[in-house]
Structure 1
Amino acid sequence: MRESSGVRHTRILAVVRSRGEVRLSELAEEMEVSVITIRRDVEALAREGKLRRGHGVIRPVVPAQRAEAAHEPPGGTVAIVVPERHAYLYETMNGAREVLEAAGLRVALHIAPQAPGTERPLVERALADGAKGLLIAPQWRSAAAEQGDDGWLSAVATTVPVVLMERRPQAGSALHAVDSICSDHWYGMHLAVDHLAGLGHRRILLASRDDSPTARALRVAFAGIAAARGDIEDWDVVRSAPDATPDGLSGPPVDLAARLRDRGATAAVLHGDVDALVLVQQLADAGLKVPQDCSVVAYDDVVAALGSTPLTAVAPPKAEVGRAAAELLLRRFTHGQAPGVARGYRVELLPELKVRGSAQPL
C-alpha cells in the first residue's frame, strides 16, 4: 500500500533524529520510493524548518542531544517503537501520540526496519536519550523471535514503564506480567465466520499471513472456531501472500481461486487488507466475481473499503489500542507505580464488523 506524504514525513524525521545524517538515496531505497519523491518530501520539511538540506544528505535542524534539551517538555519524553511499512500499527501509534502530547509529553518515534533484532538498539538509544517510558509493538515475525526478545525487553520493563501494543506475550514468559493492550482477535475472527455462516456459507477458507503475532492468533482462532461450529462443513487455511512467512522468504504463488474450487468453498476470510485486495483481483482474473461467486470478509480494515469492490471487513480498534496504551502509561507515571513491582494489566478491546456488501447469501 502506498504511504501518504504525512506518514513518510513522520518516518523521515524519525530517521534523521535517530541517525543525525542520512543520504537521500539511502532514504529512498529504505522507504521504497523514488529519489524524486524523497527530495520533494525533504523540501517540504525544510520549508517548515524541521530539517536541513545538504548536497545529497539531510540533517537535523540542531544536533540531536541539544535538540532534546531545547524541546524537552516538563512531562518528559516517551519512546514509541513500531515496525516500518505497517499502516495498521501507524494508526495505533497515532492514537497513542494524541494522548501523550495532550498530557504534555514529547513523543520520540522510532521506526524498526524489517529485520531481526532491530528493536533492541532503538530502545537502548531511546533510554540513553532519557525516555521515561516505552510503548512498543515488536515485529515478532515468529514465535522464536518473540522468545529472543523476552529477556532484554522484560529487563527494560524493570527500569521504565513499558506497554506492549497489539501484542500478547506468551503465557509463562518473562513478558507475561508486562502491561499490554491488544485487540481481541479471537472475537474478530468470530465476527467474520459468524457473518459468513449466517449468510448460509458452509465451506470457508482463511487466507492469512503467517508473519506476525496477529496472523498467528487469527490462524489459531479460525481453526478452533470453524472446527467447533456444527454448521461449517469444511474449512482450510492458506497463506495470503508468497512472502507472508515467518522467515520472510518468498514461497510459491498463492492460487486462491484453485483452492476455492478444490474445496468447493463459497467464502473466504482474507488477512490483511492489501493482500485481500490483491487476492480479490486474482479471483477476478480467474473468472470468480466477488461476491457473486465468492463472498469475502477482509481482516484489518485499513484500506478494505477502497477496493473496486468495497470489502466487508473486521476492524480491530487500532487507534483505541494506542490511546489505551498511552493512558495506561500515564497511569504508571501519575500514581508512581514502580515497573516490575505493581500488578500488570492485560487488556483486550473488541473489534467490530463493517458490512459493505462483499458477502452475500448463498
Structure 2
Amino acid sequence: MREPVELRRKRILAVVHARGAVKVSSLAAELDVSAVTLRRDVEELARTGRLRRGHGVVRPLGETVPRTAAPAARSGRPIGDEGSVALVVPERHSYLYETLHGARTALEAAGKRIALHIAPQAAGAERPQVERALAAGASGLLIAPRWRSSADEEADYGWLAEVGVPTVLMERRPRPGSALHALDSVCSDHWYGIHLAVDHLVSLGHRRIVLAARNDSPTARSVRAAFADIAAAWPEVEDWAVVLSSRNAGPGEPGTREAVPDLTALLRERGMTAAVLHGDEDALMLVQRMAENGTRVPQDCSVVAYDDVVAALGSTALTAVAPPRAEIGRVAAELLMHRLAQPADHPRAVCRTELLPRLEVRGSTQELPYPTV
C-alpha cells in the first residue's frame, strides 16, 4: 500500500529534528523514498515553515547555517542554487540557444537567479542535470530536452512528470495522452511554418516540391509530418517527397534506415522545381552541392530553409521560415514565474502555448518562369 503523504512527511521531520542537518540524498535513501518525491515533500515542508532547505541539505528551523558558509554569504554570492530557476538545454544546439537567451532576458528582468545546466549529447542526459539542479534547491525548471528519437522522448516522460517543482517545456510538445500531456509547454507551431513555406512556393507557380529534412529532433519530426500532411492535401501540389537532408541528420527512429539521395538528381528525375530544407546548416550545404552539380538557386530550383538561424548568411541569402525562438524562451519564462508566484495548492489550468513562425523572403525563391508539365 502506498504510504500516506502526511505520514511520510512526519517521518522526514522526525529524522531532521533528531539529527540536525541531513543531506537530501542521504535522507531519501534512509527513508526509501525517491529523490524526486523527497524534494517535493521538503519543498512543501519548507513552504509551510516546518523545516529549512539549504544547499542540498534540510535543517530544523532552529539550526543556523554553519559559520564556514558565512564568508560566501557576506560576499553576496549565492549558496547553491536555492530559489533559482534551472535552465536545462542540450549542448551545441544553436537553435535552442536563442530560446535560452529569451528566457534569460525575462528572468533577469524579473530579478530571478538562473542556474544553467548543459546536457551532453547522449540519451537521457537531461535527467542527471535536473536532479543536480533540484538537489541544489532550484524552485522551478525550464527545459528543452534533445529527444533525438521518439523512443528517447518516451523514456523521459515518467521521471519528468514527477519532478515536483513548477516546470515548463520549451519548444517541445509531448505526445497527446502521454504522462507529460498536462505539463505546461511553449513551442512553435511548425505546421504553420511549413504551411507558410508551401503556400509561398505554390504562389510562385511551383507544383513539385521536395522536403530535405533532418530526423533527429522533435522539431524535425514535426516539420516532416507537417509537410507530408500539407503536400498530400494541397490540390496544387502535383508531386512531393520527403528525404533525409544529410548523413548526420539521423539516426531518427530505431530500426529505420534512410538513404541520403543526390538531391540534384532527384530534382531532375522527378521534375521538382522547389525544395524546403531543414535545418539551416544542412540547407546551406545542400545549396552549395546543388551549385557544384549545375543546379542554380533560384533559377533552376527555389529554396526555402527552415530555422533561419544562419540562412541569410549564404552566398545566396535563403528565404526561410523563422520560428520565434527567443519569444519561446521569454513566454516560457513568464509562464514559469506566474506558476512560482501561485500557492502550491492553487488550482490551475495547464497551458499548451503555440507561437506562429514567420516567413522571411530573400533571394532564393522566384516565380516559376514556365508552366510545369
Flag structure 1 segments of 5+ consecutive residues without an equivalent. 1-61
Q: Which residue of 2 aligns with 1:134?
A: 141
CA 1:93/1:67 → structure 2, altered by over 3 Å: closer, same or farther? farther
Pairwise CA distance, 1:128: 0.3
| Aligned position for 1:174 | 179
**Would you say the 8 A contact 1:209–1:271 is kept in 2?**
yes
1:212 aligns with 2:211: no
Q: Which residue of the other structure, out of 330, 353, 364, is the alignment partner of 1:358?
A: 364
Q: Which amino acid aligns with 1:233?
A: E
Q: CA RMSD in A?
A: 2.4
Match of 1:272 among 275, 279, 292: 279
Name the counterpart of 1:242: 247
What's the counterpart of residue 104 of structure 2?
97
**Counterpart pick for 1:347 among 325, 335, 353:** 353
* Secondary structure of the corresponding residue to residue 168 of structure 1: coil
Secondary structure in 1 aligned to 2:114?
strand
Take 2:79 and 2:94, find their aligned partners in 1: how far apart are those partners? 28
State the shift of 1:138 in Å.
Answer: 0.6
**Per-residue deviation, residues 255-290 of structure 1 (Å, max 9, x unmatched):** 211111121100000000000000000100100010
Question: Distance between the aligned counterparts of 2:353 and 2:278, measured in 1?
Answer: 23
Over 2 Å off, 4+ runs: 65-76, 246-254, 335-339
Q: 1:98 to 1:72 in 2, by over 3 A?
A: farther
Alignment of 1:90-239 (within 5 A): 90-156=97-163, 159-239=164-244
SS in 2 for 1:70: coil
Please state if 1:87 is matched with 2:106: no
Where 2:103 maps in the other structure, the secondary structure is: helix
Deviation, structure 1 residue 72: 6.0
Amino acid at match of 1:343: A
Code of the residue aligned with 2:185 in structure 1: it is S
Instruction: For residues 77-129 of structure 1, give each alpha carbon's deviation from its aligned partner in whole angstroms, at most 9, with x where no partner exists.
Output: 11111111111100000000001111111111111111111100000000001
- Structure-1 separation of matches of 2:171 and 2:75: 28
Instruction: State the alpha-carbon separation in 2 of the partners of residues 214 and 80 from structure 1.
Output: 19
Aligned mates of 1:76, 1:203 — CA distance in 2:
54
- The letter of the residue matching 1:163 is V
Q: In 2 relative to 1, CA 71–279 (structure 1 residues): closer, same or farther, beyond 3 Å?
A: same
Higher mean displacement: 204-213 or 258-267 = 258-267
Q: Is the 8 A contact 1:187 1:350 kept in 2?
A: yes
Gap change, CA 1:119 and 1:326, over 3 Å in 2: same
Gaps of 5+ in 2: 1-68, 369-373
Q: Distance between the aligned counterparts of 1:68 and 1:110, measured in 2? A: 24
Task: Give the direction of change, closer, same or farther, for the CA distance of 1:312–1:247 in structure 2 (3 Å limit).
Answer: closer
What SS is found at the alignment partner of 2:225? helix
Is the CA contact (8 Å cut-off) linking 1:75 and 1:106 kept in structure 2?
A: no
Check the 8 A contact 1:74/1:104 in 2, yes or no.
Answer: no
The 2-side partners of 1:318 and 1:259 are apart by 32
Q: Do 2:82 and 2:136's aligned partners in 1 also have CA atoms closer than 8 Å?
A: no
The alpha-carbon distance between structure 1 residues 106 and 196, as it changes in their structure 2 partners (threshold 3 A), is same
Structure showing greater radius of gyration is 2
What is the CA-CA distance between 1:66 and the residue it aligns to?
7.9
1:333 maps onto 2:348 in alignment = no
Contact 1:73–1:105 (8 Å) recurs in 2: no
Instruction: Give the deviation of 1:71 after TM superposition.
Output: 2.7
Q: Residue 161 of structure 1 contacts residue 338 of structure 1 at CA under 8 Å; is this kept in 2?
A: no
TM-score calculated relative to the size of structure 1: 0.78
SS of residue paired to 1:242: coil
Shift in alpha-carbon separation, 1:207–1:176, aligned structure 2, 3 A: same
Greater displacement, 243-252 / 118-127: 243-252
**Separation in 2, partners of 1:338, 1:179:** 16
Cα distance in 2 for partners of 1:84, 1:163 equals 19
- CA distance in 1 between partners of 2:150 and 2:185 (Å): 17
TM superposition shift of 1:342: 2.8
Q: Offset at 1:336?
A: 2.5
SS at structure 2 position matched to 1:141: coil
Shift in alpha-carbon separation, 1:103–1:295, aligned structure 2, 3 A: same
* 1:101 maps to amino acid: E
Q: Percent identity?
A: 65
What is the aligned counterpart of 2:306 among 285, 295, 299? 299
For 2:324 and 2:260, the matched residues in 1 are separated by 31
